[in-house]
Structure 1
Amino acid sequence: MANPFLHAVSELRIVEEHLKFFDLLKLFSGPQRELFDRLPFSIRVLLESAVRNCDGFHVLESDVDKILNWEKTQKDNVEVAFKAARVILQDLTGVPVVVDLASMRNAVAQLGGDPNKINPIYPVDLVIDHSVVVDAARTVDALQINERLEFERNQERFRFLKWGAKAFQNMLIVPPGSGIVHQVNLEYLARVVFESDDGLLYPDTVVGTDSHTTMINGLGVLGWGVGGIEAEAVMLGQAISMVLPEVVGFKLTGQLNSIATSTDLVLTITAILRKLGVVNKFVEFFGPGCAQLSIADRATIGNMAPEYGATCGFFPVDEKTLLYLTQTGRTQRKLQHVETYLRASGLFRDYNDAAQDPTFTTVVELDLSTVVPCVSGPKRPHDNVPVTQVKDDFEKALTNKIGFKGFAIAPEKTHSRAPLAFEGGHYELAHGDVVIAAITSCTNTSNPNVMLAAGLVAKKAVEAGLSVKPYIKTSLSPGSGVAKLYLDQGGLTPYLTELGFAVTGYGCMTCIGNSGPLHEAVASAVEKGDLVVAGVLSGNRNFEGRIHPSTRANYLASPPLVVAYALAGTVDIDFDKEPIGKSPHGKDVFLKDIWPAREEIVKLEREVVLPGMFQEVYSRIEAGNDRWNSLQVEPSVLYPFDNDSTYIKYPGYFDGMTLDLQPIRPIEGAHVLLNLGDSITTDHISPAGNIARNSPAARYLTERGVAPKDFNSYGSRRGHDEVMKRGTFANIRLVNKLLTKPGPRTMHFPSGQEMDVPDAADKYIQQGIPLIILTGKEYGSGSSRDWAAKGPLLLGVKAVIAESYERIHRSNLIGMGIAPLQYLSGQSADTLGLTGKERFTIALDDSIQPGDRVKITADDGRSFEVLARFDTEVELTYYRHGGVLQYMVRKMIQE
């Protein structure tokens, strides 16, 4: 039907242009205006989208009413529809998205439909940034070496993406070597305000297949991460069905002291919000402290929303936003559109005006002046440790029992040493020694302030005669070419390079697990000494096994602290009491001696970060480079899948699919594939790092003639279902309660044999036995990784029973036709006495409704109820179809 709110469309004159917008201030008057004025700004963006997209089908008038009455409905678990303006992808998650779209075209054709119907309706930007690996480091030619190897390994994937850019409408591919997806989004792709072909202005909103899509909220663009399968539905014109969120107001006051950085601030905020509990909630920042923060500071905070558990961390647009848009080279016309439209629609913020403060679900407050230098670790991003306490915290963790703060090293072995011969020198490695130090990831490299601080620490350290031990793998992977330009302009690049922090690539490297190999001598010494050595990185995630198999302790830190810990060579140090090194004359040099004052950093930033730099870098970004431009692609509607390929393969999701919908049936006699504990991340379920040479995936590749040097990473092979199926639950730190030792193995109960997880799953599939997974709290936390749902599906998993779920992963499970079930409050596998050796029947059927309880019966006669976590009708519809992809194929053919 026609949009019932068309009468709210008003004219907006900007200079010589006559434009239009949905005037919410005109639409909602009287008592409704009071409701609007009290709404958090993030909810106002949802409201505008609902008004503009209301069609009585995807978006209902009742959605508008629910959002407008947010103060009453926020706690009622009400469902609303949301249509994002665009979708953003990175290549690790983007390749499987394009594979799925190509496969959907094939499926539609096989079922007698028109494959051209499978085509993005909304703009899709895909930035290739997750394929580059730190193979070479500490040399001036490291960048060239790593980019060459990236192309050699990934030509087929890149060629496939180039085909996708030609085959699908509304799809932009940003070539490799351009920067990291979130920083490119911030500096270049973000529209802030969209303009339609007929002159309608509306807010830029985005969903992305990387959980850190939330970084864009620092620019006042509402966005968050979704699973690739959900993103595909958005591309094809579907609304996202979501539960209207509560909004936590985070009030910032004061200003940062002279030694604290934005990284210290975000790690502090992460710890506060994780303790508060903000899962499935929006966080919106307000208060005069916000006005003190740059857009880069805000983006750093927004980026870490997955780590503090929120859907997003939103900063409404203000004057600082306009300054940033000017600095990054946006046109004067764009600036006029942004300011005029957002002011007219009640979406422009003055953080110093308390009268504008909306009503929030709850409010938490932080005085910026109380923030101190800190890190997070050694295993989780929300385990915040002040720098003054790192030494004590690490030493306690050494002997604590295995856990997030424990390594269970016997007290008599805490002083163990391992000899290391390296490049003609002789060293001893000890617990806490740093072997990886990486300035990496969008969390910090979006921020000139902390990048320049790192350069100044390097400069002062070199001038003091300090150096970094040669066996420490140091790297610098800027988020965009702009970072390199301002480091050059400030004269800091030579000092960083001298300490080993030469540019190794423009992409997500160490933080995603693309840290590359440690030198064999280093890895051998760590293993022989059974040492807990450290990685220190300016990234956003440090889960076990993610950074590198050899680094059991991993700490997130600001870029200048990464340099500092690299210089010290250990995390087992108290910087206040112990020198970071000695000068050539034998004088002790302390961290305070080389730490720059905030005023020095700010002054340098004003001098060297120039608008022309952004214009220079992004004027050539879509033109690509010689390697990218040399890839030849034949255009076609259907992709010619090659059965011999080990990178791109037609997946088995649509095998046996019919146009007719099949009924939901009980899951009968299911065995437990894995019995897991709390905080099982998507890195545990579907690692993105290197493929171990003794793994099932390695065996599969070897059988197909792939040499070990060409195995590449799991992340790079996400377009091949057989490899990824064999990489599911391949994390070496996985703790499965069915076994006594950590590792990627399980028990096949019919035979009583212990074996690799995919091998056991294959045996169950051959026997016609369905599988389930038992797990604890926060199942699926971490990256929004589709293969963490696709892999279990291909292993024969029909349901997961957890104490709680990460939002995106629960959605992904449903999107692949896996039932997410949740223990009732206070219950768990342990309280119910479940060992995982039982066989279970789960009473799912066609009568299931959102929020229903489901009865589960064990083969020993015991039974219990669980909550079916189909939270909305749309999610249940996807499950009835066997997944969202099957739903879309049927829908396209029916239309």
Structure 2
Amino acid sequence: MIPTSEKSWCQTYQRSLDVNGTEYRYWSLKKLAQDYQVSLCKIPFTKRLLIENVIRQTSDLKESSRIIDALFCKKTTFDSESNSNSSEFSFYPSRVLMQDYTGIPALVDLAAIRDAVAQGGGDPSHVTPKCPVDLVIDHSLIVDQSGSESSIDTNRKHEMARNRERYTFLKWAQKNFHNLTVIPPGKGICHQVNLEYLSQVVREDENGVLTPDTVIGTDSHTTMVNGLGVLGWGVGGIEAEAAMLGQPLNIAVPRVVGVRLDGQLRPGVTATDLVLTITERLRSHGVVGKFVEYYGCGLAQLSVADRATIANMAPEYGATCGFFPIDENTIAYLTLTNRPSSLVERVRAYAQEQELWWDSNSPSPEYDETVVVDLSDIVTSIAGPKRPQDRLNISAIKQATFDQCSIVGASNSDRPDSHKHLNHGDVVIAAITSCTNTSNPAVMLTAGLVAMAAVKKGLTVPSYVKTSLAPGSLAVARYLNDTGLQHYLDLLGFHRVGYGCTTCIGNSGPLKNNLETEILENSLNVSAVLSGNRNFEGRIHPSVSLNWLASPPLVVAFALAGTTCIDLDSDPIGINSNNEPVYLRDLWPSQTMLNEMLNQVNESHFRLSYKDISEGDEEWEQLSMKDSPCYPWDEDSTYIQRPPFLEIPPPTFPIQSARVLAILGDSITTDHISPAGLISENSPAGQYLLSKNIAPEEFNSYGSRRGNHHVMVRGTFSNVRLENKIASPTIGGVTRCYGDTKLDDCNMSTNEKAPPVIPIFDASRTSIKLQVPLVIFAGKDYGSGSSRDWAAKGCLLLNVKAVIAESFERIHRSNLVGMGVLPLQLMRPDELNSLTLEGNETVFIAPNEPLKPLLELNIIVVTAEGSEHTVPVIARIDNPKELEYFNSGGILQYVLKQLKANIPKMP
């Protein structure tokens, strides 16, 4: 019988669990399923976790029963247009994970909210996270130096010198925000630290109640922890701020795609090859906005490290998460990584009691959709040169490179054995980096074994290849040292450069020997090969147009080859000292050799690495600032400035006579919208920094300056690879100003056919001056890539009122709503092309009724000649809570109103 009061609900569903003499309480999924007459084993594991969250957070029993009914449904009613369904509910994560690029602007916003509360007479100390927040500093390390033993120390010193202001702010935040833990730089990548140390799988609260460990993160690869059986995914920093301040995430009952894994990987095939294949398959199948859950006999063949590799790239295949259930492999990993025995025991007991445990006898849940992957079919793979889902067999990269280079006249001939100058397809960056792979001992040790074999055969890396190794945690460095393999990696130039994301986030640093000049002068298409998860245009390095994702051992192989114009299956990778050809198969280790190395990875590597995780180096520990509940802003700082978002008025309708700022194509990523990498001296952001007397060598990166809106608004749409149809054929962050009223402001004469190309930032300043709203048009998958809140914040500050696209990536759509920018989804197929926009049009957005979730409306597009086109769209405000946020002017203003109403006044 389903209870009718909150008290009886608690009495009915709370149970006791004895774990080795310790009694815990928990919320019983078995009892709930019995009352709802549902077979729990048929419900996907991810839904079981969501159901537990709902019953535990119960306040409105009628509403909770409705949601539980929806979650218990065997099939989910799904709206393919919006990638959602009508059953929305509140989800409360256990904790929030942040990295410094996205974490600092979130904390800067919280500091600004403190100011606003204090100005209203409230106690600013009450503005603080309501749930645990871990911030790992991992995104600020730049590979200034590589290929030498001193690289790691040199890069660390540069990092501290560049980021002293930012890190001082974090020290203030750690001291003043309750529930915030900051892990200093030099400890590892946030997702790997989360996997190896922070995650508990099953948490115990202050009342002795056991709950599943769930997490949201301000980085899209938060999904990595799903490999450990922890449900988590990436959100925008804006959503994370709301969650930190006690607001729930409002999500739809998910459609769950089951991916059945059969068989086992063949010797020599890596988890990287598997995840690139899964990414290709699931992108083709279509899993955007859905939960992916892995099941089948193949699960037992995959270690947690392999699972984490697959879960990590859920954003690349488009899913909200890629979940693996708890099993014996989970227990083995928790033990290996030095989790307390009491934690390991409670994970096993709780998971088994709650039917959250998987073994080969477990019945398969019933999924909304299923995909089958035979592990024995997986082959050695690489992905690129621009998207992670564009997988190729390793033998196909040679022709793919030729095809890409033919754009600029490259011949389809083999590269010469040696050359004095760069050629098309030459590898100028070879980086072992990223949480995807550095968390996996199998691929890291294989890379070391390939390096050892290469050294013994007398092979070397060409001088133009910038090699680097950035382990994801200190544990990786320990086992590479203890196995003796780091020595051979060093001999090939893969010295450790530090512990952070480096190349994968675009912090590649300068190429060797000023090759940027040669690449530019000769219009060369050169390659980067990295063991990362992102290879979008302009992300890895502005001068590198071909970017390939590969396993760590393949990164070593391509570094040795020095080119991607090679078929590693049949072409020699190099010539040994006896003038004999050496092939990749000659370097690849046997499974026996690899197993011998894997057996040397042990608990001590993790115990020693994490025993002082919260302690930084001497420079970090010496950082300090004035103690105050409100942050003492420095007007002269070029890193940290008080943001203006709380002062921007909420959106109003109708939007009249809007102009088009940009017309963009498909797969526009957050890297196109808000780059994270180097700041060009000639860019608007570079010019701003020069005006502040910042030398170009001290510009640092866009990612590091996300605490300063003056830099970030100038960096919005500044990617050097951006293709804006309005500015065609010019590439980059530029546009044209159309409209007679703007002729003087745009410095164009009336007899010109088209206005001149100008920076997008300059065009936005003109629109603000003339009070002319702006809109953006785009194709499919707008906003894919990293969960970058500045991609939405920047649009708001550019005076963009609406983004009109054929489809949106999940996190970016939510971020736009959360900043008060209206996402409008085109309803007709190929609508963008059929409109044949030029950029001189005027757009009218005038709903016939007040905005509501998923409102269908027409916008009017008027051409320069005066003809009108009526275009049907859906307002992608997906639920009532988002509507509240939007009408308030965004999440920040909504939360501020709530805080002002509830925070006590200062005495």
Distance in structure 2 (CA, Å) of the matches to 1:598 and 1:362:
35
Residues 193 and 104 of structure 1, relative CA distance in 2, 3 Å threshold: same
* Matched ranges for 1:266-277 at <5 A: 266-277=275-286
SS at match of 2:420: strand
Match status 1:392 vs 2:402: no
Cα displacement (A) at 1:855:
2.0
Distance in structure 2 (CA, Å) of the matches to 1:441 and 1:777:
27
SS at match of 2:430: strand
Amino acid at match of 2:884: T
Q: Which residue does 2:445 correspond to in 1? A: 452
Q: Which residue does 2:213 correspond to in 1? A: 204
Q: Which residue does 2:735 correspond to in 1? A: 746
Match status 1:891 vs 2:883: no
Distance in structure 1 (CA, Å) of the matches to 2:96 and 2:18:
29
Distance in structure 2 (CA, Å) of the matches to 1:440 and 1:603:
24
Match status 1:610 vs 2:602: yes
Task: After superposing the two structures, state which structure 1 stretch, 683-692 or 621-630, moved more.
Answer: 621-630
Match status 1:841 vs 2:874: no
Amino acid at match of 2:838: T
* Aligned with residue 363 of structure 2, among 351, 356, 359: 356
Deviations 1:46-96 (A, max 9, x none): 010001011129974422222122525466442122111100000000000
Match status 1:5 vs 2:9: yes
* Matched ranges for 1:210-609 at <5 A: 210-350=219-359, 352-353=360-361, 355-399=362-406, 408-410=407-409, 427-606=420-599, 608-609=600-601
Q: Which residue does 2:752 correspond to in 1? A: none
Q: Which residue does 1:642 correspond to in 2? A: 634
Distance in structure 1 (CA, Å) of the matches to 2:845 and 2:269:
53
Distance in structure 1 (CA, Å) of the matches to 2:459 and 2:8:
69
Please tell me the root mean square deviation across aligned C-alpha atoms, in Å.
1.8
Cα displacement (A) at 1:336:
1.1
Q: Tell me if the contact between 1:179 and 1:481 (Cα under 8 Å) persists in the aligned partners.
A: yes
Deviations 1:810-869 (A, max 9, x none): 000001000000100314222133333111110147711111112212333332221100
Q: Which residue does 1:791 correspond to in 2? A: 794
Cα displacement (A) at 1:158:
0.4
Q: Which residue does 2:145 correspond to in 1? A: 136
Deviations 1:181-226 (A, max 9, x none): 0000000000111101010000000000000000000000000000
SS at match of 2:472: coil
Residues 885 and 147 of structure 1, relative CA distance in 2, 3 Å threshold: same
Match status 1:880 vs 2:868: no
SS at match of 2:832: coil
Distance in structure 2 (CA, Å) of the matches to 1:789 and 1:845:
26
SS at match of 1:62: helix
Distance in structure 2 (CA, Å) of the matches to 1:625 and 1:56:
49
Q: Tell me if the contact between 2:97 and 2:216 (Cα under 8 Å) persists in the aligned partners.
A: yes
Distance in structure 1 (CA, Å) of the matches to 2:173 and 2:350:
35
Residues 242 and 458 of structure 1, relative CA distance in 2, 3 Å threshold: same
Distance in structure 2 (CA, Å) of the matches to 1:492 and 1:310:
36
SS at match of 1:5: helix
Cα displacement (A) at 1:588:
1.0
Q: Which residue does 1:422 correspond to in 2? A: none
Amino acid at match of 2:691: E
SS at match of 1:71: coil
Distance in structure 1 (CA, Å) of the matches to 2:337 and 2:847:
53
* Aligned with residue 662 of structure 2, among 674, 679, 683: 674
Q: Tell me if the contact between 2:648 and 2:889 (Cα under 8 Å) persists in the aligned partners.
A: no
Q: Tell me if the contact between 1:258 and 1:599 (Cα under 8 Å) persists in the aligned partners.
A: no
Distance in structure 2 (CA, Å) of the matches to 1:2 and 1:173:
37
Cα displacement (A) at 1:141:
0.8
Q: Tell me if the contact between 1:745 and 1:756 (Cα under 8 Å) persists in the aligned partners.
A: yes
The two structures have a TM-score, normalised by structure 2, of 0.94
Q: Which residue does 2:747 correspond to in 1? A: none
Distance in structure 2 (CA, Å) of the matches to 1:456 and 1:288:
30
Distance in structure 1 (CA, Å) of the matches to 2:573 and 2:62:
60
Cα displacement (A) at 1:637:
1.0
Q: Which residue does 2:905 correspond to in 1? A: none
Amino acid at match of 1:563: V
Match status 1:854 vs 2:853: no
Task: After superposing the two structures, state which structure 1 stretch, 481-490 or 113-122, moved more.
Answer: 113-122
Residues 667 and 781 of structure 1, relative CA distance in 2, 3 Å threshold: same
Distance in structure 2 (CA, Å) of the matches to 1:242 and 1:409:
47
Amino acid at match of 2:631: Y
Q: Which residue does 2:748 correspond to in 1? A: none
Match status 1:806 vs 2:809: yes
* Aligned with residue 49 of structure 1, among 47, 53, 67: 53
> Where does structure 2 lack aligned partners over 5 or more consecutive residues?
80-84, 744-754, 903-907
Cα displacement (A) at 1:117:
2.6
Q: Tell me if the contact between 2:671 and 2:719 (Cα under 8 Å) persists in the aligned partners.
A: yes
Task: After superposing the two structures, state which structure 1 stretch, 151-160 or 66-75, moved more.
Answer: 66-75
Residues 416 and 697 of structure 1, relative CA distance in 2, 3 Å threshold: farther
Amino acid at match of 1:348: W
Q: Tell me if the contact between 1:135 and 1:517 (Cα under 8 Å) persists in the aligned partners.
A: yes
Distance in structure 1 (CA, Å) of the matches to 2:279 and 2:710:
37
Q: Which residue does 1:26 correspond to in 2? A: 31
* Matched ranges for 1:52-131 at <5 A: 52-56=56-60, 60-69=64-73, 71-73=75-77, 76-131=85-140
Cα displacement (A) at 1:2:
4.0
Task: After superposing the two structures, state which structure 1 stretch, 362-371 or 825-834, moved more.
Answer: 825-834
Q: Tell me if the contact between 2:848 and 2:857 (Cα under 8 Å) persists in the aligned partners.
A: no
* Aligned with residue 829 of structure 1, among 825, 832, 842: 832
Deviations 1:546-576 (A, max 9, x none): 0011111110000000000000111111123
User: Percent sequence identity over matched residues?
Assistant: 49
Task: After superposing the two structures, state which structure 1 stretch, 42-51 or 55-64, moved more.
Answer: 55-64
Amino acid at match of 1:595: W
Cα displacement (A) at 1:17:
1.4
Distance in structure 2 (CA, Å) of the matches to 1:295 and 1:58:
39
Cα displacement (A) at 1:376:
0.1
SS at match of 2:736: strand
Cα displacement (A) at 1:531:
1.3
Deviations 1:427-473 (A, max 9, x none): 23211110000000000000000000000000000000000012210
Distance in structure 2 (CA, Å) of the matches to 1:601 and 1:100:
48
Q: Tell me if the contact between 2:655 and 2:846 (Cα under 8 Å) persists in the aligned partners.
A: yes
Distance in structure 1 (CA, Å) of the matches to 2:76 and 2:789:
34
Amino acid at match of 1:687: P
Q: Which residue does 1:403 correspond to in 2? A: none
Cα displacement (A) at 1:356:
2.0
Deviations 1:667-691 (A, max 9, x none): 1111001011110000000000010
Q: Which residue does 1:405 correspond to in 2? A: none
